[in-house]
Amino acid sequence: MGITHQDEKAPSTTSQSNNPDHGNDEKEQFNLNVSHEVSGTQGLGLDTIDTKEERAFLWRLDLGFLTIGFLGYMFKYLDQINISNAYVSGMQEDLNLTGNELNYFTTYFNSQQVYGLRFLIGFFEGTAWPGYFTLISQWYLPHEVALRMSLYNMAQPAGAMLSGAMQGALSTNFDGLHGRAGWRWAFIINGVCTLVIAIAAFFILPGYPDRPNPLSKFYLTPRHIEIAQARARRVARKPQIGITVKSFLRCFSYWQLWAVAVAWPFGGNWQPTNYFNLWLKSLTNADGTKRYSTAMLNYLPIAGQAEQLVSQLLFNGLSDYFGARLPFLLLHSVINITSLVILTIRPSNEHAYMAGWYLNYNGALSTMLICSWASQHLEGEPELRTVMFASGTIVAYLLSAFVPLAAYPASQAPNWRIGAKLYLGFAIFAVPVFVAMHFGFRWEQRRKTRAINN
């Protein structure tokens, strides 16, 4: 039971699959020869992990690490997206915003104060994505990564749903309380919740398997760390080490870094859904009155965010189960392109146009598939994985800072001149990039296999 070390004289057996696309075999009990030191003697030993004990470890890790990651990212995204809910909930009128201020708020993260605060939010949240994805890629096996990344990223639609529900409720019940508008109360409550989660994360984030966070011992014991380290040896994963200038520059010699830096932003970073409520706000009844109340403007997008949450879990879970990435990326592209075609042609049927908006909530599914796909092929390159996650985040954020200003300026709502046309071009461009990555990974795998055989 557990991890047992046998004498180097004992016969050894090996059951190992180095191909991440066949990860389902690793769900059963396994044996793996590893080099280790026993009682001061260096030799080849045998690590055996009991299946039940490994599942118990995974459950504990999911409950602690993924829960705090989910909550942290949910409130991080809530702090990021709440500006859109506040804009249609009285902020536009209170601050006399008549131009493209909403775009500048979401780009650069009285209005001058908002610019400064949004910049600080963007500056400090920049490490969230690459940081959490690096930790996930160190603790979980290749056939477990996509689902965990999706569970973490599900916090994004969950945060958007909570933001809409909270803003709708506060606009109804807190507006005018202690002289503050309902949209102002949303920022106050968001800030308090974020602070509590940040303090909890200090104790719950596990660190790395080879350098665990000592404050997390209350739920990850030394025994659990042994299991995590044995699992890493199973897939020949190197430990995470500090990045030097030399190793950083070396990362840019890998084609995988450049492929992900292109596929990440163009494949799933473009969703017009942030401007859905601007279109809803423009709708009027026959007598000229607003069709939707402030609360409804915040509630209606929740259905799309719930759809995104379920789709992320379904796509990434099935991708892990079947050990395949490209088919699900192509299916995602079909859905995304279809939604953008509807938004581009803008049918006269209002329900059909709204269906295009709701369908587009599936647009961000590809990011987790891309990251898990690249990660599983780079088990021996921890520095490259970290730089890759950071590079994808940087490129996506840089483009997000300027592209929406051209495509969806708030002053043109709801009749944007460019709008979904540009995003449709990006989505179509991503398809051959996905296919090229597939053949690139296949070529890399064959090259490694030949090197091992030789």
pLDDT tens-digit profile of 197-239? 989 999 999 999 989 999 999 999 999 999 999 998 888 888 8
Helical packing angle, 420-453 and 382-407, nearest 10°: 170
Tell me which residue of 191, 189, 214, 216 sits closest to 201, measured CA to CA: 216
pLDDT mean over 441-452: 86
Give the total number of structural domains in the chain.
1
Specify the CATH number for the domain of residue 354.
1.20.1250.20
What pLDDT, on the 0 to 100 scale, is given for residue 235? Answer: 84
β-sheet bridge partners, residue 423: none
In terms of residue numbers, what domain contains 66?
52-453
What pLDDT, on the 0 to 100 scale, is given for residue 108? Answer: 43
* Rounded distance between C-alpha atoms, residue 276 and residue 300, angstroms: 9
pLDDT mean over 376-394: 84
Residue 25 lies in a domain: no
* 129 pLDDT more than 80: no
The band of 110, judged by pLDDT with boundaries at 50, 70 and 90, is: very low
Residue 39 lies in a domain: no
Residue 11 lies in a domain: no
* Rounded distance between C-alpha atoms, residue 203 and residue 234, angstroms: 28
* Rounded distance between C-alpha atoms, residue 374 and residue 369, angstroms: 9
Residue 24 lies in a domain: no
Q: Percentage of the chain surpassing pLDDT 90?
A: 25
Residue 61 lies in a domain: yes
What pLDDT, on the 0 to 100 scale, is given for residue 39? Answer: 32
* List of long-range contacts for 333-339, beta carbons under 8 Å, 24+ apart: 333/267, 333/366, 333/427, 333/430, 333/431, 333/434, 335/359, 335/362, 336/268, 336/360, 336/362, 336/363, 336/366, 336/427, 337/424, 337/427, 337/428, 339/363
pLDDT tens-digit profile of 250-284? 999 999 999 988 998 888 767 788 788 888 888 88
Residue 27 lies in a domain: no
* Rounded distance between C-alpha atoms, residue 287 and residue 297, angstroms: 19
What pLDDT, on the 0 to 100 scale, is given for residue 179? Answer: 72
* 372 pLDDT more than 60: yes
Most confident of 30-39, 87-96, 436-445: 436-445
Residue 8 lies in a domain: no
